[in-house]
């Protein structure tokens, strides 16, 4: 879904990336700052019940995921280290978002069931990324699926935002189900995506 908008988003980020380069800020610094900010905001805001505020703050730091790559391209640095660092730190950010949601349900949300579903969604998301990485290490391709990383982040943050606004009284109470619906979809989509990628790798391995 969101993968189709990457080219346009990259052009939008180009001036900001150029400005950071002029300030002698490196792509690695942006990667670290984005991850630390994402982890901190997710694990501070969500467990406290600051859902709609936390969703915006997390989204702000996630933008750095586009910035570091854009900066690297402008500098002509396409290093294996940069790619490795970016992919590794992404896992921390993703896990923190779903862990924050699970902690919210274990506390302010008063639902062990939804906390468990949040953990399931996180688990399938991590496995989805692992399957792709392992496939590529074997010379195979496994990029397909219903729940790519960009899609997962968009859906969970929109869900958090809707539920947060509903609980604050800004949206109708019906929207309080935004986050539970998002978690159910991500859990099922993650399961399907893992199956799709495993099937694709098996087909390539046996062909």
- The residues annotated as belonging to the active site are 90
Quickly count: other Cβ atoms within 10 Å of residue 137's Cβ: 8
Cα atoms in the 13 Å half-sphere on the side-chain side of 39: 12
What are the residues whose beta carbons fall under 8 Å from the beta carbon of 188, sequence distance 6 or more? Answer: none
CA distances from 176 to 47, 102, 119 (A): 16, 16, 19
């Amino acid at each position: 879904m969101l993968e189709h908008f990457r080219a346009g988003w990259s052009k939008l980020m180009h001036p900001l990336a150029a400005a950071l380069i002029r300030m002698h800020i490196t792509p690695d610094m942006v990667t670290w700052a984005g991850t630390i900010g994402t982890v901190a905001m997710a694990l501070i805001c969500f467990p406290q019940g600051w859902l709609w505020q936390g969703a915006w703050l997390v989204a702000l730091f996630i933008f750095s995921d586009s910035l570091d790559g854009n900066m690297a391209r402008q500098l002509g640095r396409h290093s294996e280290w940069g790619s490795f660092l970016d992919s590794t730190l992404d896992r921390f950010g993703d896990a923190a978002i779903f862990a924050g949601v699970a902690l919210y349900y274990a506390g302010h949300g008063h639902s062990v069931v939804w906390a468990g579903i949040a953990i399931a969604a996180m688990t399938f998301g991590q496995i989805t990324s692992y399957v792709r990485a392992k496939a590529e290490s074997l010379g195979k391709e496994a990029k397909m699926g219903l729940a790519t990383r960009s899609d997962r982040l968009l859906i969970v943050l929109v869900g958090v935002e809707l539920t947060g606004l509903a609980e604050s009284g800004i949206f109708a109470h019906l929207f309080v189900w935004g986050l539970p619906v998002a978690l159910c979809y991500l859990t099922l989509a993650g399961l399907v995506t893992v199956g799709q990628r495993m099937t694709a790798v098996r087909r390539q391995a046996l062909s």
